[in-house]
Amino acid sequence: MVDVMQEKLVPGTPRQSGRREGDAGGLVAELRSVASSLGFGRLGIAPVARPPHHDAFRTWLARGLAGPMQEWLARHEPLRGDPTLLLEGAASVIMLATDHATRGGAAPVVEPGQGRVARYAWGDDYHDLLRARANDLGVWLERRVPGCRTRGVVDSAPLAERDFAWLAGLGWFGKNTMLIDPRAGSYFFLTAILTDVDLPADAPLVTDHCGTCTACLDACPTQAFPAPRVLDANRCISSLTIEHRGAVPDDLRASVGDWIFGCDICQEVCPWNRHAPGSDEPAFQPRQAEASLSLADLLALDEAGFRRRFKGSPLLRAKRHGLARSAAIALGNRPHPPAFASLVAALDDMEPVVREAAVWALTRWIVAGVMPQEARGALAARGHIVSSTSAAGSRPGPSTA
């Protein structure tokens, strides 16, 4: 997100005063044990302070690099800068890491006609599972320290989770802006618990273990990293396929490839993920044993069908029209003749963004010589006249029968 390693790597403002337990070290040991029993992989403690890279975050926002989240992040920036606005009297942030990678860290093989999904979204919505675990840990702490207060955060409040996870020693910031644990790579979720208990803090991991490696920067197909540790969310495939609600910019569509929800490229090429520990958590396993999704099936879903199919899944975030739009773009990038009828049907979708993506995709088929007569006829029947040079972007990949 922001170039965090360029700032002075020290904690922010002095920690807030809070209730201090007599045997704080023993309490933290108990916390770690209970957290592990609940399913969390690692725990670190950070002091409540102004996030150490908040100024870099504000600069990043000022540059307009937050993409679809620009307005929301800007509106909540003051809250992000002061955790005590989220929990009055907060003194410590308990940061928890949960590994989620299944089937190892290597990129999965995606068959023709299928769309790629970021691995964190293969299973059930992690928010539900981690929120329940955080609540259980918070309840335990409130019983263990009578009168204390806690607040769990799982992407549910404007808290700088990665900053506090760094302060808590859970990893360093990679050049792809991900937090990387030298023992576990970057395939993990973060959960935070704010508390007014003053706990002894862990030490930040200040060493930059990326060294001279630029694998993540070089691999990004949309060139979403203008500099190491700086993300331009306007160009990020994850942002475009999940948060962006409109048409994907023409100059980026070909580079999106067959990703339909999120993207793992900058993590798949990271050497630190070669030996990621992975997870056998049932909730994170691919639903219906699917790590990719049929593009034709996605285009055929109506609103009710979409909600039934993805109930309890992170994919609901993209909404039906966003997922169908991305499915059409994926078929434009990797034509698959068996999906032709579904792509033609998308020309009549109720959502303009889906119709437009289907037009773009079929135009690409014509240029690639994949069922050109049929594609041209379907477009012409709806008033779209396509010349041989009107396809946007680069030439699509080979067709797949």
Catalytic residues: 155
HEC letters along the chain: CCCHHHCCCCCCCCCCCCECCCCHHHHHHHHHHHHHHHCCCEEEEEECCCCCCHHHHHHHHHCCCCHHHHHHHHHCHHHHCCHHHCCCCCCEEEEEEEECCCCCCCCCCCCCCEEEECHHHCCCCHHHHHHHHHHHHHHHHHHHCCCCCEEEECCCCCCCHHHHHHHCCCCEECCCCCEEECCCECCEEEEEEEECECCCCCCCCCCCCCCCCCHHHHHCCCCCCCECCECCCCCCHHHHHHHCCCCCCHHHHHHHCCEEECCCHHHHCCHHHCCCCCCCCHHHCCHHHCCEEEHHHHHHCCHHHHHHHCCCCHHHHHHHHHHHHHHHHHHHHCCCHHHHHHHHHHHHCCCHHHHHHHHHHHHHHHHHCCCHHHHHHHHHCCCCCCCCCCCCCCCCCCCCC
Q: How many residues does the chain have?
A: 401
Please provide residue 208's backbone torsions phi and psi, each rounded to the nearest 5 degrees. -90, 100
**Separation CA 253–CA 285 (nearest Å):** 29
